[in-house]
Amino acid sequence: MHVEFRTDPARYRHWRVEVDGPVATLTMDVDEQGGLVPGYELKLNSYDLGVDIELYDAVQRLRFEHPGVRAVVVTSGKEKIFCAGANIRMLAASEHAWKVNFCKFTNETRNGIEDATANSGQTYLAACNGTASGGGYELALACEHIMLVDDRSSTVSLPELPLLGVLPGTGGLTRVTDKRHVRRDRADYFATKAEGLGGRKAVAWRLVDEAVSRTVWDATVAERAAELAARSDRPADAAGVALTPLDKTRTGDEIAYRHVTAKLDRDAGAVEITVDGPAADAPEGIAGVHAQGADFWTLAMTRELDDLILDLRTNEPSLGTWILRTAGDPLKVLGHDRLLLDNASDWLANEIVLYLKRTLKRLDVTSRSLIALIEPGSCFAGSLLELALAADRSYQLEGVFEDVDADAEPATIAVDAMNLGPLPMGNGLTRLQTRFLGDDEGLAAVRDAAAKPLDAGDAERLGLVTFAPDDIDWDEEVRIAVEERAGFSPDALTGLEANYRFPGPETLETKIFGRLTAWQNWIFNRPNASGPDGALRRYGTGRRADFDRKRV
């Protein structure tokens, strides 16, 4: 089955979006019969990938289309239930890869909610008007403030371990301790108590921020949303930018947008992705960015790259190597970058850079081998240089292809301000800081070379590319790299890449994705969870799971 990530509010089946001045309300009202695939009902506001695709779209649109929104209330449209979490029947019936990829996308959406709170002045408030369990509580955990109705029955819980033999796959354990600072012993008790906690104890243990009786629920939610909105500096009277439908065509061997193209080579198990730089110079000022809206190159390219990553990750799991190319004028890329950075206080410029940051993070945590090819006609500069810095290996041609165009300009790369801070990875460091971890002298040399076009020799000397073959060796070295990757174990490569891409400090994000890659990949694949007698299979049957009791 093919999964499409493009949607819009007119097509939502599971969410309602209402905007009232500075406060927006996202109401989760899941259509029980609206599962992405047949075979399960989405009861009790449980969700599958289709529900989260709509949520991701809604969060994006609030940031771009509603700049006046300063607080977002996430609540339920159903009686006495906020959200029951990921649908168990869906998880039990899904292939292993689907489960893990689903958890990864859900995590990224939760991280986007936190990013909106931290960097966009749109603070999220979870108004849990009923029980929030599993992934439902994890959705609340992504919000800055959690309110739980105090009615002696509503609780928050993470029941995955006692009921399903797995772990909260969208960052639940990590957010409980690292974000909400729940004491370790209390967190241990909470995660083994299937029914969870509510009322005053949930507040005392920091699992929620406040428990509110039903008699004053609506008034208190409105009051709290108004307080959060008052803290924001989002512009009250700015016009939003419509996220118009992406122009996309998909065939059996190509996915094409206006600025991004992917050629699918199924025999080689690879995808050749080309990102085209801007065709024109950047507009004269920030007013030009607003006038162009969704057509402004950086925003348009980022939306396309984001959609492509999601499409390939979900629909093409066997294409394990992504070959990254760019084409265009590096000076035009740098011009667009500078326009955004020179107007960082403008809400739209800020949102575009934040969106680019999140999309590059999505590339970082994608379990595919990334190889960047820097050839004549490339524009790996500034924001597009980040693609090469994200790659597991990069090759820059020394000289030109003599048999193709001996008069061409040799390929260059360029470091600029966009590479020196605005686009951090999940570890909190830039890709350059990550690349030169423990090598302050090397990083300083790269900073000194900023804004200069660097040919293959200079780039290799500075440590910015892996190899710099000449025309004679290019084809053979690239061929070997791609064929070699296809011959390795995909599982081992996923582990290798996840380890090597994130040196340096641990953060909430690196913990969540590292543990998802390791623990969830392993736990989801074990018979204790997914076997014929495992907890996922037996849940709801009245029969207990038959666990292999050995610790490994």
Tens-digit pLDDT profile for residues 173-208: 999 999 999 999 999 999 999 999 999 999 999 999
Residues linked to residue 398 through DSSP beta bridges, in sequence order: 470
CA angle at residue 215 from 214 to 221, to 5 degrees?
Answer: 65
Distance CA 142, CA 26 (A): 14
Distance CA 529, CA 161 (A): 10
Distance CA 420, CA 382 (A): 9
Sequence-ordered strand ranges (E) for 266-392: 270-276, 321-327, 369-374
Q: Is the pLDDT score of 119 beyond 90?
A: yes
pLDDT digits (tens, 9 = 90+) for 292-305: 999 999 999 999 99
73 confidence band (pLDDT: 50, 70, 90): very high
Residues composing the chain: 552
For residue 37, what are the CA distances in angstroms to 26, 33, 34, 42, 193? Answer: 24, 10, 8, 11, 31
Predicted pLDDT at 402: 86
112 confidence band (pLDDT: 50, 70, 90): very high
Predicted pLDDT at 232: 97
For residue 516, what are the CA distances in angstroms to 12, 207, 510, 522, 541? Answer: 28, 22, 10, 9, 28
Q: Which domains does the chain have, with CATH numbers?
A: 9-230 (3.90.226.10), 249-500 (3.90.226.10)
Q: Which residues contact 192 (CB under 8 A, 6 or more apart)?
A: 161, 162
161 confidence band (pLDDT: 50, 70, 90): very high
Mean of the per-residue pLDDT values of the chain: 96
pLDDT digits (tens, 9 = 90+) for 16-43: 999 999 999 999 999 999 999 999 999 9
Q: Is the pLDDT score of 521 beyond 90?
A: no
Distance CA 209, CA 215 (A): 18
Count CB-CB contacts under 10 A for residue 115: 19
For residue 416, what are the CA distances in angstroms to 34, 259, 318, 444? Answer: 47, 22, 35, 13
Count CB-CB contacts under 10 A for residue 426: 21
78 confidence band (pLDDT: 50, 70, 90): very high
CA angle at residue 107 from 104 to 110, to 5 degrees?
Answer: 155
407 confidence band (pLDDT: 50, 70, 90): confident
- Our measurement of the distance from residue 370's CA atom to the centroid of its chain's CA atoms, rounded to an integer in Å, reads 17
Distance CA 119, CA 347 (A): 10
pLDDT digits (tens, 9 = 90+) for 374-383: 999 999 999 9
Q: Which residues contact 457 (CB under 8 A, 6 or more apart)?
A: 398, 468
The strands making up 369-374's β-sheet, listed across from edge to edge, are: 249-250, 254-256, 260-265, 270-276, 321-327, 369-374, 393-396
Residue type, 452: K
Predicted pLDDT at 551: 87
Q: Is the pLDDT score of 219 beyond 90?
A: yes
Pairing of strands 80-83, 71-76: unpaired
